[in-house]
Structure 1
Amino acid sequence: MVRKMGVYAVLAFVLFGLFFYWYLFYFADTKLPFEYEGSKADPSTFLNGRELDLSEDYSKIRNLLFFLSTPFEWLFYFLILLFGFSKAFKRWAENTSKYRLLQTAIYLIWLSFFSFVATFPLNYISYSLSKTYHISTQTFGSWMKDELIDFWINYGTWLIIVPILYWLMKKSQKRWWLYGWLLSIPFTIFMMFLQPVVIDPLHNDFYPLKNKELETKILTLADKAEIPARHVFEVNMANKTNALNAYVTGIGSNARIVLWDTTLNRLSDNQILFIMAHEMCHYVEKHIYFGIGGYLLLSLLGLYLTYRLMNWTARRFGKELKISDVRDIRSLPLFFMILSMLLFVASPLTNLTSRYEETRADRYAIEMTKNPEAAIASFQELTRSGLSQVNPPLLVKIFRYTHPSMLDRISMLEEYEVKHRNLQ
């Protein structure tokens, strides 16, 4: 039975991968609708033939890697349970130490290490792909350093969460999910507060914007939006990527507007001001706080469903998966697997919400700057630098895109430009 379940799981993963390979490379049509041909959203008007080919090829492979990596994570955790590795990790931990907390830490390091090794090939392929297409400029050593930093941050985070979670399971078998969620609220807010000043600087160097003339323009724009901003931060990314980005991070006094130096090097001041106005909208309309609220609501539902699904799985397949009790640390891979599946299922909704907020930010930015030419040019340059598809396949947009497609964004700006021109 165990062998059959393993074969079926691997077969399901292969069929899933083949479906998305067929969908992305043969079925999905990324051509522009004819009404947009020749418009400013048409990539043939601002990309050369080689860039068009590269963007299509790169996007297809990158999207396939995304649709392979997520179910591979499920397969990994399933096989860890099925072939008794989780049971072995617990035995090794118990043989190493008599202290329960230390046993949990040892169990976690084994599970984390095996997970890192199992997912390393796909992560390396993704890194190598971005290097081949000249998106990444990062050396292998620098990339490996970032991977290891992420490993230890994730390990440290779970080292805090897992002992508390399983202690709650033992104390309240039917309500642990609710108590765990209540404890997650201050933890989530604390991590959001910590992110820009502790975690982000582990990967990159942040410093106040060096171009003081541009900073004055941005702060004037912020004052117009009634944002009490004092500094705009610049981050050194040119030694890692050719892509462009800007974002808002943190909450309260730790909130920051951040510009990549690649953005500063490639865009004009007017283009940067449009992007900054976009980011300011997230502050003005409190998108960060709505995001935290939405995340907490979804996590409540997710933890409840995880509780129900873990118990059902243990009753139905406990013998095959070597899980006698969900309150045993051996069930942790099942917890991770179910959580990952729920996150994937919820991604169309969370992405839809994010795209709505990003559309609001685009409209806010163009109303504030009233410079559609600069706005359109900035999106065209973002497309070129990241080799992005202007019109991605539907399933890619649903499951991957937290921002509207460039077709939607540029065409909206063109409509504004025409309307604005007619009003003059």
Structure 2
Amino acid sequence: MARKIGLYGVVAYFLYGLFFYWYLFHFANTSLPFEYQGTVADPATFLNGRELMLSEDYSKIRNLLFFLSTPFEWLFYLFILLLGLSNAFKKWGEQSSKYKFVKSSIYVAWLSLFAFIATTPLSYISFTLSKQYNISTQSFGGWMKDELIDFWVNFGMMIVIVYVLYWLINRSTKRWWFYAWLLTIPFSLFLMFLQPVVIDPLYNDFYPLKDKELETKILDIAKKANIPAEHVFEVNMAEKTNALNAYVTGIGSNSRIVLWDTTLDKLNDDQILFIMAHEMAHYVEKHIYIGIAGYLLLSLVGLYLTSKIMEWVIARWGAALKIPSVNDIRSLPLFLMIISMLLFVSSPLSNAVSRYQETRADKYAIEMTKDSEAGIKTFQELTRSGLSQVNPPLLVKFFRYGHPSMLERITMLEEYEIEHRED
């Protein structure tokens, strides 16, 4: 049975990968509809021939890597179970200590190490791809440092999560999912509060915006929007990427408005003010808190479904997967695999909500700045610096895009400009 499950898993992954290769490279049409050709949303009007070719090639390969990476994670967890490695991890933990916390920590350490080894090749391919297309400017050493920081941060959180999770399962095999969800509420809020001041600085250096004249302009917009901001931060990303970004992160007193230094270098003040107005819209319209509420709702449904699916899978294939019961730590790879699957399946819904919020933020930015030209130039530069597709394939948009496509964003601004001109 174990061999049959493994074979079916490999064949399904192969067919899945073949489908998306065919879809992305031979079926999907990313050309602009006729009515948009020659407009400011047409990449041919602001990208040269080489940039057009590179953006198409880069996007296709990057999208294929995305669609291959997540199911590869499922296949990895499946084979951890089928090959008996989960049994071995538990045995090594039990041989090392008599304390439950130490035992579970050792299990998580081995599982995390094997996962890191298995997924690093795909991560490295993605890194080299971005280097080849001049998106990434990071050295191999810098990239490896970030990967190791990711490993240790995730490992530290995973130890706590797994220990508490299995303590809850042993306490209540029927309602553990609900108690786990209750704990995700303070845990998620705590992480969001800590991220700007503890986690993010592990990867990059943050400091107050050096251009005080620009900071004054940004804070003036914040004041008009009734945002209690005192500083704007910049982060040194030029040593890692040529892409542009700006964002608002954190909650409460740890909220931060952040600009990448690449954004400061490549955009003028008017364009930066448009971006800042967009980011401030998320604060004004409470998108952060709506996002938290949505995440908690999805978590509740996801944990419930995970508990039911785990019970069903173990009842039917527990012997083949070498999982005696739900409350045994050897079920952890199955738990992680199901969570990953549910996140993937629900991503079109969460992305659709995000795209709606981003559209609202774009509209807020244009109403606040009254500068559609700056917005259009900003989106064109974002397309150029990230080699993005202006009109991505439908499945890519559903599964990957938390923002509207550049075609939609630029077209909206162009329509606003035409209407405003007529007024």
Q: Same fold (TM over 0.5)?
A: yes
Letter in 2 for 1:109: A
Residue 364 in structure 1 maps to residue 368 in structure 2: no
State the 4+ residue runs in structure 1 displaced beyond 3 angstroms: none
Structure 1: which 5+ residue stretches go unaligned? none
Partner of 2:290: 290
* Mapped partners of 2:284, 2:311: distance in 1: 43
2:172 aligns to what?
172
The alignment covers a number of residue pairs equal to 423
The CA distance in 1 between the partners of 2:321 and 2:227, in whole Å, is 54
Which amino acid is the alignment partner of residue 210 of structure 1?
A: K
Separation in structure 1 between the aligned mates of residue 92 and residue 167 of structure 2, nearest angstrom: 20
Query: After the TM superposition, which residues 119-268 of structure 1 pair with which residues of structure 2 at under 5 Å, given as runs?
Result: 119-268=119-268
Separation (CA, whole Å) in 2 of partners of 1:379 and 1:120: 32
Secondary structure of the structure 1 residue equivalent to 2:248: strand
SS in 2 for 1:421: helix
Distance 1:415 1:288 in 2: 28
| Aligned-partner Cα distance in 2 for 1:312–1:116 | 29
Structure 2 gap segments, 5+ residues each: none
What SS does structure 2 have at the residue aligned with 1:230? coil
The equivalent residue for 1:10 is 10
Q: 2:373: which partner in 1? A: 373
Q: How far apart are 1:2 and its partner, in Å?
A: 1.2
Post-superposition offset of 1:237: 0.2
Distance 2:101 2:161 in 1: 12
Q: Distance in 2 between matches of 1:369 and 1:183?
A: 42
Task: For 2:221 and 2:76, locate their aligned partners in 1 and report how far apart those are by CA, in whole Å.
Answer: 49
2:291 matches 1:330: no
Q: What is the CA deviation profile of residues 8-56 of structure 1, one whole-angstrom value per residue up to 9, with x for unaligned ones?
A: 1011001100000000000000000000000000000000000000000
Distance in 1 (alpha carbons) for counterparts of 2:11 and 2:417? 52
Alignment of 1:27 with 2:18, yes or no, is: no
In 2, Cα distance between the equivalents of 1:184 and 1:3? 37
Q: Give SS of 1:199's match.
A: helix
The root-mean-square deviation of aligned C-alpha atoms, in Å, is: 0.5
Aligned-pair CA distance for 1:7: 1.1
Report Cα offsets for 1:59-97 as digits up to 9, x if no partner. 000000000000000000011111111011101111111
SS at match of 1:258: strand
- Distance, in Å, in 2 between the alignment partners of 1:6 and 1:310 is 18
The structural deviation recorded for 1:228 is 1.1
Structure 1 SS opposite 2:234: strand
Match of 1:65 in 2: 65
Q: Distance in 2 between matches of 1:301 and 1:19?
A: 30
C-alpha distance in 2 between matches for 1:4 and 1:320: 10
Task: Give, in angstroms, the shift of residue 6 of structure 1.
Answer: 0.8
Q: Give the 3-state SS of the residue equivalent to 1:320 in structure 2.
A: helix
Residue identity opposite 2:148 in structure 1: L
Q: Aligned to 1:389, what secondary structure does the other structure show?
A: coil
User: What letter corresponds to residue 255 of structure 1 in structure 2?
Assistant: S
Given residue 58 of structure 2, which amino acid in structure 1 is its aligned partner?
Y
Superposition TM-score, scaled by structure 2 size: 1.00
Give the counterpart letter for 2:76 in structure 1.
F
- How far apart are residue 329 of structure 1 and its match? 0.3
Opposite residue 45 of structure 2, the aligned amino acid is: T
Q: Cα deviation per residue 1:354-400 (whole Å; 9 max; x = unaligned)?
A: 00000000000000000111110000000000000000000000000
Q: Write the distance in 2 (CA, Å) between the matches of 1:8 and 1:300.
A: 31
What is the distance in 2 between the residues matched to 1:293 and 1:113?
A: 33
Q: Give the structure-1-normalised TM-score.
A: 0.99
Cα distance in 1 between the residues matched to 2:251 and 2:379: 27
**1: CA distance between counterparts of 2:295 and 2:157?**
18
Matched, 1:49 2:49: yes
